[in-house]
Structure 1
């Protein structure tokens, strides 16, 4: 079958679930990974065909997408901050907003001498995307990362190896931790922050397939992770150390108020590319 004809069928079968533009983006994403062909290749060679074996693979992928399994899980990989990451249902799929957080941290270190040693801790590392991107771009940094999930840590460890960086991964339940036992210049976290009351606004492909352990907090204590991590930062941030959070867009003011009450200084609340409150930086 000609690829262009299969493309039309692929998009048609997905459009009851996704809009045509998103379905088309899936097609080209899969085409590049499975066939090493880009959009331009198909445009220049419209007579290219799939073999029967290739159609079988594509049909399997199509069925998974029709079940609304995220395309990143179907392919087992995604891109984050210019790096490739393996992903699976044990870890959240990295988001563009989190790339903005990484960019902010890297920008904050531009005044630091490249020979000056830096220690960074990422709490709730998941796929390792934050820790690995920072290790790749801040070569003077010793990067540590914590997660409660052994499956997530195994994925993160593999991603660190695939991206040729050294990150020290630690298995730890942060809510049961009283002291991190060393000092860090930067502590960063993208902890669970979605309240159960917000589930109604979450798409099926996230709600049914991404790990709830990494997503949700109770409605009555939505800032539990922020409070705990801030308490640890009071103990384990070095002098002039900096705390960075990704936050719930609906709880920006509440998160700032929490940090103010805990005597953090120079608190900055930053919006993401969509104009939502998404990131906080603070000193203690």
Structure 2
């Protein structure tokens, strides 16, 4: 029978051409924990633990999938975000740690007790659902152009017991979107990856995650930001807040675009890695 130590060694050699050593260790422990039900601490403490035949078969299948570059989150069918569990599949992006930082900023900035929030380009629903979970009195809505993504987001809202109003719409056709009430907060992590960025990205992103949620034309990198800013002008309350996750290469350009549209109190914030990654600004009634 194979042991935990055997699996760690097999995955190390099987994935060293795809991931660096730290990523291989993290992926292997995640997979082992999922299959055995043991904590990562227990797996590390008892590497001689034997695996069943069924577990070994599943591990072999997972290793084959991982060697193609398929993200471990898609293989397992879920990921963790802000302490909550989210289903993920090829219809949605895998939530990233820097997006948790954006969500935390929104939570810290939200007026109390109740706010009206819209998440644009919701994908798995991780932003909208987390905000509803943390700001329980808030009314939260979320837009996405992908029906497949909205199906995933609705299941995530149900499993996390968070009522969110999901809307099928295209923000690039924002004039056709009618909100019942003006919004206190709009937040978005829209597509922002250019062809230049794509060449520097890992194949587990470019080959497996949904392109419509990732990429923008090289010649129009702020395409979605401009549309969302124009939508915000029409739909935010006076003093309402707009939050973006951004492409680190276009922080200055995004700030200038918002200034030109008369947004105020624009703050460009770095993420945990020191990269320009998010923006907060406010809409004033006298913009135009």
After TM superposition, the score normalised by the length of structure 2 is 0.95
Structure 1 position 65, deviation (Å): 0.4
Aligned equivalent of 1:265: 264
Distance 1:281 1:237 in 2: 13
Distance 1:202 1:118 in 2: 37
Q: Secondary structure at the match of 2:238?
A: strand
Would the aligned equivalents of 2:118 and 2:185 in 1 still touch at CA under 8 Å? yes
Distance 1:83 1:95 in 2: 13
**Deviations 1:10-38, CA, capped at 9 Å, x for gaps:** 21111122222211111111111121112
Aligned residues: 280
Distance 1:267 1:43 in 2: 46
Is 1:87 paired with 2:85?
no
Aligned equivalent of 2:235: 236
Stretches of structure 1 lacking an aligned partner (at least 5 in a row): none
Aligned equivalent of 1:222: 221
Q: Secondary structure at the match of 2:17?
A: coil
Aligned equivalent of 2:108: 107
**Most deviating of 26-35 and 178-187:** 178-187
Quick one: which of 141, 145, 159 aligns to 2:142? Answer: 145
Aligned equivalent of 2:22: 21
Quick one: which of 97, 116, 125 aligns to 2:122? Answer: 125
**Most deviating of 257-266 and 197-206:** 197-206
Stretches of structure 2 lacking an aligned partner (at least 5 in a row): 284-288
Would the aligned equivalents of 2:146 and 2:168 in 1 still touch at CA under 8 Å? yes
Aligned equivalent of 1:177: 174
**Deviations 1:164-211, CA, capped at 9 Å, x for gaps:** 100000000111121433311000111001112221111111010011
Would the aligned equivalents of 2:30 and 2:40 in 1 still touch at CA under 8 Å? no
Aligned equivalent of 2:190: 191
CA RMSD across the alignment: 1.1
Would the aligned equivalents of 1:180 and 1:232 in 2 still touch at CA under 8 Å? no
Instruction: Provide runs of 4+ in structure 1 moved above 4 Å.
Output: none
